[in-house]
Chains A and B, each alone.
Chain A
Amino acid sequence: MTRRKRIGHIFLHLFLIIGSLFMLLPFFWMLSTSLKEAREVFTFPPQWIPSKLNWSNYTKALTAMPFGRFYLNSFLVAISTTALTITTSSLAAFAFARLRFKGRETLFLVYLATLMIPFTVLLIPNFIMVRYLGWYDSYWALIFPPAFSAFATFLLRQNFRGIPVELDDAARMDGASSFRIWWQIIMPNSGPALAALAIFLFLGNWNEFLWPLVVTNSAEMRTIPVGLNSFQGQYSVKWELLMAAAVVAMLPIIIVYMFAQKWFIKGITVTGMGGR
């Protein structure tokens, strides 16, 4: 490395470190406030390190609202929706990629065309549909409507088409049914795509706010984002409790992310088209 380049790299690191500090600052400020005593929260200039670690904020925040239940709901909803989306869309994608039937291209085009419609347009009719089905304020409402994704079907179809047809043909010679080909050839050969999609969907469902906000009413049905939103409505100046709740809401995903950074980035960038 030349001398000039080395100096350049030092400046680059400086720039990136300052940037990193800005990115980490909100996390640090949240953590710091969550451990402060109430009177220490309102000091000027702000105190970066709490004088005493006040863990009781966490027990206070977590008992002020049924956060355990919110967690359970979020987890249940995110897992079920993801599993359901992957099952239905991989079955459909298999049909689109491998089976021949009348209207295949037209139907696929209809699927694709709906990708243009933003979720906002579907929000109100879906809400009415959910009420009509008697699903309002239930797990059904949280799990089923978001679980049918034309995008996931499209993504998997593209992936399935990349798997050599010779594998299917050989299996068919041996008398395998289509269902078996889907389950034992196509799915195992799509590992990376399925994993990326699963992470993308799980994260999207875990963090989803608008839909659960609209279709839930009782505290028992709230997911973490909705629960946090109502917590903020009730404790709007109890910053130490709000920050403790925010830490609890973020922590599990951040921990998993630390260990599986590559997969998260892959999941979101490869499939990023579907979300923001």
Chain B
Amino acid sequence: MKVIIPTALRPYAGKQESVSFDARTVGEALSRLTTQYAELRKHLYTDDGKIRSFVNVYVNDDDIRYLQKENTQIKDGDTISIVPSIAGG
């Protein structure tokens, strides 16, 4: 499977648009991603290890919040997309 890296995070992922991993769940894929590119972690996760509220993760076209969140199963050929929400005040 492939993880699509958003433009804003590419500087922390070797400037790559996507990275491929073998993983069984979304959580495992993101864990591998942030292990390989440790600088990504603080932008994707809070200090207590939760995915930040403005970080949206899709498997193909489906938001994992409406699936099994980080336990969502993935299979060969799936694409995980990290899509930002932009928020402020």
A binds B: no
